[in-house]
Chains A and B, each alone.
Chain A
Amino acid sequence: MGEILLKNAWVIDPISGINGEMMDIAMDGGRIVEYVSDKADVIDAEGFLTLPGGIDSHTHTSGTKVNFGRYMSPEDMRAGRTPKKGAMHVTSGYSVPTTYGNSYKYSALGYTSLVEGAMAPLEARHTHEEFAFTPLQDSFANVLFDGNWGMLGAIEEGDIKRAAAIIAWTISAVKGFAVKLTNPGGTEAWGFGKNVSCINQTMPRFDITPTEIIRSAIEANELLHLPHSVHLHCNNLGTPGNYTCTLGTFDIVPDLNDTRQTLYATHVQFHSYGGSGWSDFCSKSEPIAQKVNMRPQIVIDMGQVMFGRTTTMTADGPMEFNLYRLHHDKWSNHDVELETGSGIIPVNYRKKNLVNSIMWAIGLELALLVENPWQCLLATDNPNGAPFVKYPEVIALLMSKKYRDAEFATVHQDTGKRVPLPAIDRELTWHDIAVMTRAGQARALGITGVGKGYLLPGAEADIAVYPIRVDDIDPAQQYEEVIKGFSQTEYTIKRGRVVSRRGDALVHGENTTFWVKPNVPSEYDMTHDERFKEHFERYYSIRMSNYPVQEEYLHRNYCIRTETDLSTTHD
C-alpha cells in the first residue's frame, strides 16, 4: 500500500465526468492522491481501458443461504475446481463457489466491492465470517426486513418513527448496510403456507398490505438518512402477468431524496412478465422501462438470465416452492424466526425452452430500453439469473446488435413473437457500461462519500485495468474481443495494491466490511425500549443481549454514521 503511479491509463470515470482521457493515476496509503514521489512503483497501463473498481450492487456470495446452496449441490462444487497456485487457495464451485472462488473470480473481472443482496439478520454472523474470507472485495450486506415482526407491528400501528427505530437498532446490531424487502408480506405469509397476490392484499397476521410495508420502509429509510435507498425484490417474482404488480409498485414510490433514487428495485427481469399463464408468457419490458424512464426516483438492476446451469436462492420462500413444483428437483426451504425465510433450487436455463429464452431477452431489453444507464444497472442477481462470470458476455450483448442477433438465432424459435428484442437497435457505449457496472452502483448505494466508484484524489484506490484499447476495437462488430477484454483484467488494484493480475490473485486481505449506524436519539433507542425487549425475549430463540454482532467479530470494518430525523424536538 505504498506509493504507486499508474501511467498511461485510458480512463472512463463517469462520476468525475471523465470519458476517455489518457491519464496517470497516483496512489498512496490506499487512496488516490494528487501526486507521488519518484520512489513510487510505476505500473504502465499501456493505454488500456481503466475504470474504477467494479461494484456489484446485488449478488449472493456470502451467508447461510449461499452456503446451503453449496452443500445441497455437491455436483456444482465439482464443476469449478482450481488447484492452489501462488497466493491462491484451492477453490471449487461454479454457480456457488467457495468464498475464495468468488473472490478470485470477481477480482479477475475487476470487481472490488460486493453487496450481499439478502442477509437474514439472525444469521448475520455467518455472513460476516464469509465476508472475512472474501479477501479481495469490500463487503456490504442488505438486511432483510420483509418479515420483521417488530417493524411490521410498528407499521400496523402507523408509527413510522418506531419502525425506523427498529430498523436502526437491527441494522447496526447485525452490522448491515441497507434495508432489503423481499416479497414484502409474502415471505412472512409463507410461514403460514400462504403468499400475497400483489401489493394491495392484506397479509396474514398483520393487518397491512405490501403497499404499506414498502411505503413505510421507504419513509423510515429516509428518516434514518441511510446511504442506500430501500432495496426491493417486488412481490410475485417469476409469475406470468406480474408486470402489472411491478408497475403498481413503482407508482407508489415517492421522490424523497435529492442525491439518489428513493427505491432500488432489484432483478426486474424476473418482474416484467406478461401473459396469463406459461402458454402465453411474454415480455413486458417496454411498459416497465417506460415507467422507469418517467420516474427518476427509481433505479433498477437487470437480473439478466444467461443460459446454462445455476442455482437460484432467495428469501422469497413461496416463489422457490413454485419453482420446485415446476422442476421437481432438489429444494431447500428455510424459515428465520421473526424475520424472513428462504428457498433454494438448482436450475438449468435452456435455449430450447421458450420461457427461458424470453427471460433472457427481457433482461437485455430492460437495459436497452431504460434511457438513462444510471437507472438500470448490470447484474444477474448472481447466481439466480446466471453466475457473475457471465458479466462479460452480458456487456458484449448490450454493446453489439450483431451479437444479439447471432444469439437470438439460436434461442427457441417462437421467442420472436413474444419479445421486442429483435427490433431494438441500441448499442451501449463504453461509458454506458462504466456507469452500469460501477459508477451507477456507487451512486445508487450512496457510497461515493466513502470513496467508491470514481478515480479523483480522495477516492479509494480501487481500479480495474482491462486489456482493451478502445480506439482499436469496434464493440459492435468485435464482440468476441469485448468478452475477452472484460473477462480478465490486466491489473485489478484494491486499496492501492495490485491484487489480481491477468486472472491470478496475488495477495490476500485488507478487505473491509462497511456497515451503518444511524445516530438515534435515546427515546428511539430500542436497547432500552421495554416493549421491544419483552417482544424479543418472548419470541426469539436467543437473548437480545446475544443478538448483536460485536464489532470485534468483524475483521477490518468501517462504520458509516448517519444523522436521523427521529428527534421528537423536530416535530
Chain B
Amino acid sequence: MKVTITLWDRDNPLIPVEAEMITPDAFFSGEEIIIAVGNRHMRLDGIADIHIEGEASSAAEVAIEIRGDSARFKRVGEMMTAGSITIEGDIGMHCGNFMSGGSIEILGSADGWLGREMKGGEIICHGDAGDYCGAGYRGGRKGMRGGSIEVVGSVGDFACEHIAGGEVIIRGNTGDYPCAEMKGGTVIILGDCSRVCANMSAGTCYVYGYADEMIPTFERIGCVDRDGLQLHHFRGDVANRGHGDLYVARYGYLS
C-alpha cells in the first residue's frame, strides 16, 4: 500500500500540528487519522490530500510519502513498528519517537528530538537534525535503546543524551554535550563536537573530528588505529564510575 499525503499550504504555517497518527500502523488498521492543528482536533484530510494505492497485508507493506511543508508536523512515525515513511521536505519535532521497527527517510532536515527513545528500525536524515537527536525525554533515564539513526548533516546540542543502545552516525558536527549520560550503544561523529560523553557510564563513542573542551575526568588508555586514522582511546566518565569507551582523533581541554 502506498500512501501519498500532500499537505496544503496553510494560512499560518507556524502553527504546530500534532501528527502522531501518521504511521504505517494507523494506515494499515484503517482507522480515522486525527491530528491537532494548534488546539483544534481534525481529520488529516482537512489539511491534506491523501492518495492511497494498492493493498497491504501488514503494516510492513505500507509506504507513506509526505509532500509539502511538514516542518511543523510533530511526532510523525511515533510508535511505528514497521513499514516506511518518506518525508520530502523538513520534519518537525519528535519524528520517530519510540519507534520499534520500519524506516523513516527525511530528505530535508529534522527538528529536535529525532528518534527520541527509539527501540528499533532506522532513520536516515539527509539534512541536519536539531537538539536531542536520539536522546531520552526530560527526566527520562534512557534515550535511544536500539535501531539506527544516520544524519548526513550536523546535529544540535545534547545529541544521544542518555543513549542506551543502537547505533548513531552523524556525518557533520554536533553541538554541545553529545552522548551526555551515555549508557550503551555506539555513536560515531565524523565532524567536530564539544564536551563529549559527559558522565557516561558505558557504550562507545568515536569522534573523527576535533573534540573540544574534553571532559577532564576521562582516563587516557592509549592509541588505536581505526579506518586508517589514529584515535586516542579514553575511558570514563571516572566521575560517574563509568567504563565507557571514547575514541577521539584530535582533542583539547578548556584552557
Bound pair: A and B? yes
Q: Does A157 contact B (CB under 8 A)?
A: no
Chain B residue numbers with a CB within 8 Å of A329 are 141
Instruction: Give bound CA distance, A329 to B141, whole Å.
Output: 9
Given contacts A74-B139, A75-B137, 10 further A-B contacts (CB under 8 A): A72-B139, A73-B139, A74-B137, A74-B138, A75-B138, A75-B140, A76-B139, A78-B137, A78-B139, A329-B141
Q: How far is the CB of B98 from chain A (nearest CB, A)?
A: 13
Instruction: Give bound CA distance, A76 to B139, whole Å.
Output: 8
Residue of A nearest to B136 (CB): A75
Chain A residue numbers with a CB within 8 Å of B140 are 75
Chain A 370-429 residues near chain B, CB threshold 8 A: none
Chain B residue numbers with a CB within 8 Å of A72 are 139
Q: How far is the CB of A85 from chain B (nearest CB, A)?
A: 15
- Fill in one digit per residue for A508-543: 1 if any B CB lies within 8 Å of its CB, else 0: 000000000000000000000000000000000000
Chain A 69-114 residues near chain B, CB threshold 8 A: 72-78
Chain B residue numbers with a CB within 8 Å of A77 are 139
Residue of A nearest to B240 (CB): A328
- Residues of B whose CB lies within 8 Å of any CB of A are 137-141
Residue of B nearest to A77 (CB): B139
- Listed from nearest, the 7 A-B pairs whose CB atoms lie closest are A75-B139, A74-B139, A74-B138, A73-B139, A75-B140, A75-B138, A76-B139
- Fill in one digit per residue for A58-76: 1 if any B CB lies within 8 Å of its CB, else 0: 0000000000000011111
Chain B residue numbers with a CB within 8 Å of A74 are 137-139
Q: How far is the CB of B18 from chain A (nearest CB, A)?
A: 14
Q: How far is the CB of B84 from chain A (nearest CB, A)?
A: 29
Instruction: Give bound CA distance, A329 to B140, whole Å.
Output: 11
Chain A residue numbers with a CB within 8 Å of B137 are 74-75, 78
Instruction: Give bound CA distance, A73 to B139, whole Å.
Output: 5
Q: How far is the CB of B105 from chain A (nearest CB, A)?
A: 29
Chain B residue numbers with a CB within 8 Å of A73 are 139
Chain B residue numbers with a CB within 8 Å of A76 are 139
Instruction: Give bound CA distance, A329 to B139, whole Å.
Output: 11
- Residues of A whose CB lies within 8 Å of any CB of B are 72-78, 329
What are some 11 contacts across the A-B interface (CB < 8 A)? Answer: A72-B139, A73-B139, A74-B139, A75-B137, A75-B138, A75-B139, A76-B139, A77-B139, A78-B137, A78-B139, A329-B141
Instruction: Give bound CA distance, A187 to B137, whole Å.
Output: 34
**Count of A-B contacts judged by CB separation below 8 Å:** 14
Residue of A nearest to B201 (CB): A328
Q: How far is the CB of B79 from chain A (nearest CB, A)?
A: 15
Residue of B nearest to A330 (CB): B139
Instruction: Give bound CA distance, A88 to B139, whole Å.
Output: 27
Q: How far is the CB of B146 from chain A (nearest CB, A)?
A: 20
Instruction: Give bound CA distance, A72 to B141, whole Å.
Output: 12
Instruction: Give bound CA distance, A74 to B139, whole Å.
Output: 5
Residue of B nearest to A73 (CB): B139
Chain A residue numbers with a CB within 8 Å of B138 are 74-75
Q: How far is the CB of A71 from chain B (nearest CB, A)?
A: 9
Chain A residue numbers with a CB within 8 Å of B141 are 329
Residue of B nearest to A75 (CB): B139
Q: How far is the CB of A77 from chain B (nearest CB, A)?
A: 8
Most buried by B among A72, A75, A329: A75
Instruction: Give bound CA distance, A75 to B116, whole Å.
Output: 14
Chain B residue numbers with a CB within 8 Å of A78 are 137, 139
Instruction: Give bound CA distance, A75 to B140, whole Å.
Output: 6
Q: How far is the CB of B136 from chain A (nearest CB, A)?
A: 9
Instruction: Give bound CA distance, A302 to B141, whole Å.
Output: 31
Q: How far is the CB of B137 from chain A (nearest CB, A)?
A: 7
Q: How far is the CB of A270 from chain B (nearest CB, A)?
A: 25
Instruction: Give bound CA distance, A76 to B137, whole Å.
Output: 12
Instruction: Give bound CA distance, A74 to B137, whole Å.
Output: 9
Q: How far is the CB of A84 from chain B (nearest CB, A)?
A: 11
Residue of B nearest to A71 (CB): B139
Q: How far is the CB of A218 from chain B (nearest CB, A)?
A: 41
Instruction: Give bound CA distance, A329 to B240, whole Å.
Output: 11
Residue of A nearest to B241 (CB): A328
Q: How far is the CB of A482 from chain B (nearest CB, A)?
A: 34
Chain B residue numbers with a CB within 8 Å of A75 are 137-140
Residue of A nearest to B140 (CB): A75
Instruction: Give bound CA distance, A74 to B138, whole Å.
Output: 6
Chain A residue numbers with a CB within 8 Å of B139 are 72-78
Most buried by A among B139, B140, B141: B139
Instruction: Give bound CA distance, A74 to B140, whole Å.
Output: 8
Instruction: Give bound CA distance, A73 to B137, whole Å.
Output: 11
Instruction: Give bound CA distance, A403 to B227, whole Å.
Output: 63
Q: How far is the CB of B242 from chain A (nearest CB, A)?
A: 12
Q: How far is the CB of A70 from chain B (nearest CB, A)?
A: 10
Q: How far is the CB of A20 from chain B (nearest CB, A)?
A: 47
Residue of B nearest to A72 (CB): B139
Instruction: Give bound CA distance, A226 to B141, whole Å.
Output: 45
Q: How far is the CB of A326 from chain B (nearest CB, A)?
A: 15
Instruction: Give bound CA distance, A73 to B141, whole Å.
Output: 11
Instruction: Give bound CA distance, A72 to B139, whole Å.
Output: 7
Instruction: Give bound CA distance, A285 to B134, whole Å.
Output: 48
Instruction: Give bound CA distance, A290 to B197, whole Å.
Output: 55
Instruction: Give bound CA distance, A75 to B30, whole Å.
Output: 32
Q: How far is the CB of B26 from chain A (nearest CB, A)?
A: 22
Q: How far is the CB of A383 from chain B (nearest CB, A)?
A: 16
Q: How far is the CB of B202 from chain A (nearest CB, A)?
A: 13
Q: How far is the CB of B208 from chain A (nearest CB, A)?
A: 32
Q: How far is the CB of B78 from chain A (nearest CB, A)?
A: 14
Instruction: Give bound CA distance, A497 to B140, whole Å.
Output: 41
Most buried by A among B137, B138, B140: B138
Instruction: Give bound CA distance, A77 to B139, whole Å.
Output: 9
Instruction: Give bound CA distance, A77 to B137, whole Å.
Output: 12
Q: How far is the CB of A67 from chain B (nearest CB, A)?
A: 15
Instruction: Give bound CA distance, A77 to B140, whole Å.
Output: 11
